[in-house]
Amino acid sequence: MPEVAIFLIFMLAMFVQTSAGFGSALVAMPLLASFMGTRVSAPLFAISFGCIAIVITYRYRHDLKIENIWRLIIGSLISIPIGVNVISTWDEQVTLAIYGAFISAYALYSLLGFQPPRFENKNWQWVLSPFAGMMSGAFNTSGPVYVIYGDSQRWSPFEFKGNLQILFFLNSILTTTNHILVGNITDEVLALFIFAVPGIIVGTALGFALDKFINPDIFRKVILVMLLVMGIGLIL
């Protein structure tokens, strides 16, 4: 049943998010889009993640370094409406293929161990952030852009989680707002949201309880392999 699938998908996605600090959309969106398309899955995930993002952000608030990311915040928020417009107007198969190619490329990039150069000039954030915002609006997946930038800055694991959570939280608010404005938050989306909430609660609780026992390197590789498989599936 789709209701059970939605519960399980959001449980897994939030477990990944609270354990690794990112990745919920990368896990949930390909699975959701594969059986309900992006025009339903994108607004569904946006409103669902917004409910728990504030909790995760509060947990990592002491690790946030706003002076290092304010340009990313502004640039991303400006470009989110473009991404929302993409899924509202483009052909569904085209958007699925683009999304599949995006997450496959990110999974390969990470699995092959590429290390981005260090962007010493903070103005690089103005270059990267519009793309992050567009991906957030279209697929809720600004994460790969932020992760690559964070890797380039050699952020500590705690700073990494703290900075990413506020970025995800603010993106989710504006993404949801834009979905509302263009009419993507339909009765169907709201009905499915009811089944997402229990999965969010269970997955978040499990993640907070078990993250200290998880080997982050092995966990990350497992998630990346899964993303590669799902990305190829969306392309095909």
User: Over the stretch 57-101, which tens digit does the pLDDT of each residue have?
Assistant: 887 788 888 888 999 999 998 999 999 988 888 887 888 888 888
Query: Model pTM?
Result: 0.83
Rounded CA separation 176/91 (Å): 21
Rounded CA separation 65/31 (Å): 33
pLDDT score at 1: 54
> At 157, which amino acid appears?
P
Range of the domain at 212: 2-235
Cβ distance 10 to 199 under 8 Å? yes
Cβ distance 19 to 210 under 8 Å? yes
**Cβ partners under 8 Å of residue 234, min gap 6:** 30, 33, 34, 96, 97, 99, 100, 103
Tell me the per-residue pLDDT of 93-141, one tens digit each, with 9 for 90 and over.
888 888 888 888 888 888 888 777 787 888 889 988 998 999 899 888 8
pLDDT at 214 over 70: yes
Strands (E), the chain: none
- Domains in the chain: how many in total? 1
Which one has a higher pLDDT value, 214 or 127? 127
Choose among 90, 170, 107: nearest CA to 133: 170
**Cβ partners under 8 Å of residue 184, min gap 6:** 39, 42, 43, 84, 87, 88
- Per the prediction, the chain carries an average pLDDT of 86
Choose among 135, 134, 164: nearest CA to 69: 164
Rounded CA separation 134/132 (Å): 6
